[in-house]
Amino acid sequence: MFERLGKLYQANLIAPLGFLRLLFSILFWRFNLMAILRYAAWVYPNLVALKDEAEQLTYKDLFLQCKQLATILQNNYDIRARNKVAIVCRNHNPIVKSIIALSCLGADTYLFDLEMEKGRLLNLLEIHDFDLIIYDIEFWELIRKSDCACKALLSSHLTFPSINSLSNTKADGKIKLKKVVSGKLILLKGDVYLNEFNPSTFNYLKPIFPLIDKLNLNKFKTVFIGVPINHEFGLSALLISLVLGKKIILLKNVASKPTKKILLKQQVQVAFLSPSTLGEIIKKGSLELIYLRSIIASGAPLNPRLVKEVYSKLGNKLSNLYGTYNSGFSILATPEELKLYPNTIGKKITANVRISDKNQELTNGKIGALTVKTKRGWVDTGDWAYVNENGYYFLCGRKEDRIFSNGKNIYPMLIENILLQHEKINQVAIVGISDKINQSIMLKAFIEVDKNTFLSEEMVKKWIKDKEIPFQCPDIFEFTDNIPTNFWGKIDKKVLI
């Protein structure tokens, strides 16, 4: 207990002066993201807060620029509480300034998932009655094609008005900002219509405690956010890092090659990465990762083989966070826990997690719906999972991926994890296909191997005989050198069927 209190004290979260500053920030700015930044600018004024490819800002500079930007958006663009603002941007300093300034004004901010197809993105822009669109120059043509009648503002530009130029422009007269509670922060995704993520100050303080306690996040200075800020994982990583006074490195293109260069050049100690990006980085060597002390993955299930590969090359540095849109992080797997169970998502870090079936809690390895408790009651995450006798949670796949075959429920992810133990198999996707002759559902396994690697159905079946395969062995095998995945490494099985 005393060790935990010591860590929180070192992070200034329970130090008397730090606590008073945090309290004053909240009382003065109310419950919005400017309160977090005001606190950080007070505690770490001259430390570097943000660094992207264009500029570097201290916490004091960032606070002053966000306050300046909020004033200009209020006075010149008439942005007020409950106004709707779209942000179509990649990771850079302007998106951070925009999110904080809009939160200060009480506007509802819509963050667009840039992985969605352009037609869907255009449709979402048109069906919402936005008061302002903030966008990167690469989406210029898309914004022009839309029927939106609202104002539009570039994130950065040398000549046109932009978030960067406005945040560095002195507002006319004295800065007068009405103190309001933060508006909604809404994540617009291609496959999900709306996901509301409430950015109140205390929502982000809750996960900080286990991250400090279990991962010693307070000890490290430099953080790389290698996931989109328009995703709940990237957004949480950003705000947690701000509270802890980290130097935050942002990169528009988080492909493996530029990411590895920035990790080495900036001597990054903590990296928030998707499993897909992590896999690409590890595959191409680990020399550039010498400064890394902690890798935090989320956004998609970790491949157990990737967990073992990271451990063999980097040691005990990989952890995994599991969370939902509405409740934030709820389950954490530490490096030690992943070493013990490479396929676990960890232990719960809040009491509001359970496995259930028809509102009845399940324990001791029984598969059910993974649910979390929010203000609206118990919410189904859409994942099947189970918890073992030691309190470790294990995913069994998405609800839509479950297959009913031969009179029983089959959870493909459990079979996929077994097949991924084969040294020649890079990726696996199991789907159900209709057997019209026998009027049943057969299991088909898509198996990804390297281009110059030979692997046959007979070889896999022979290898699998010695394994404890849950449910049943796949009936059909198809080998390929590429199973399509999204940025996070998730497979869209609908494309394969």
Which burial class, exposed, middle or buried, applies to 369 when counting CB atoms under 10 A from its CB (0-12, 13-18, 19+)?
buried
Which burial class, exposed, middle or buried, applies to 171 when counting CB atoms under 10 A from its CB (0-12, 13-18, 19+)?
middle
pLDDT at residue number 332: 94
Residues of the chain within CATH 3.30.300.30 domain(s) are 402-496
Cα–Cα distance measured from residue 412 to residue 428, given in angstroms and rounded to the nearest whole number: 10
Q: Is the pLDDT of residue 188 over 70?
A: yes
- Second-level CATH architecture of 402-496: 2-Layer Sandwich (3.30)
Cα–Cα distance measured from residue 225 to residue 357, given in angstroms and rounded to the nearest whole number: 36
pLDDT at residue number 171: 63
> Would you say the C-alpha torsion 250, 252, 256, 262 has a positive or negative sign?
negative
pLDDT at residue number 209: 79
- Cα–Cα distances in angstroms (integers) from residue 72 to residues 105, 174, 356, in the given order: 11, 11, 49
Residues of the chain within CATH 3.40.50.980 domain(s) are 2-198
Out of 92-101, 108-117, 252-261, the most confident range is: 92-101
Contacts 24+ apart (CB under 8 A), 60-63: 62/37, 62/96, 62/97, 63/37, 63/38
pLDDT in tens, 394-425: 999 999 999 988 788 999 999 999 999 898 99
pLDDT at residue number 9: 45
Specify the higher pLDDT residue, 433 or 134: 134
pLDDT at residue number 318: 97
- Cα–Cα distances in angstroms (integers) from residue 281 to residues 90, 295, 306, 310, 314, in the given order: 20, 12, 11, 10, 12
How far the first Cα of the chain sits from its last, in Å, is 52
Percent of the chain exceeding pLDDT 90 equals 52
CATH of 2-198, one of 3.40.50.980, 3.10.105.10, 3.40.630.40, 3.20.20.70: 3.40.50.980
pLDDT in tens, 323-336: 876 667 889 999 99
pLDDT tier at 434 (50, 70, 90 boundaries)? confident
Average pLDDT over residues 13-17: 62
Average pLDDT over residues 462-482: 84
pLDDT at residue number 2: 40
pLDDT tier at 115 (50, 70, 90 boundaries)? confident
pLDDT at residue number 238: 93
269-288 in b/e burial notation, b at 16+ Cβ within 10 A? bbbbbbbbbbbbbbeeebeb
Average pLDDT over residues 164-191: 77
| Pairing assessment for the beta strands 427-435 and 440-448 based on DSSP bridges | antiparallel
* CATH 3.30.450.20 for domain 206-399: no
Q: Is the pLDDT of residue 260 over 80?
A: yes
Cα–Cα distance measured from residue 442 to residue 455, given in angstroms and rounded to the nearest whole number: 21
Name the one residue in this structure whose structure tokens are 């660094």: 51
CA 201 to chain CA centroid, Å, is 18
Q: Is the pLDDT of residue 356 over 90?
A: yes
- Cα–Cα distances in angstroms (integers) from residue 80 to residues 172, 179, 256, 435, in the given order: 18, 11, 40, 58
| Pairing assessment for the beta strands 353-357 and 360-362 based on DSSP bridges | antiparallel
Q: Is the pLDDT of residue 7 over 50?
A: no
Has this prediction a pTM greater than 0.85?
yes
Q: What is the DSSP-derived secondary structure letter of residue 464? A: H
Q: What does pLDDT average to over the chain?
A: 86
- Cα–Cα distances in angstroms (integers) from residue 46 to residues 42, 62, 435, in the given order: 9, 10, 66
pLDDT tier at 182 (50, 70, 90 boundaries)? confident
Percent of the chain exceeding pLDDT 70 equals 90
Helix (H) or strand (E) holding 382: strand 377-387
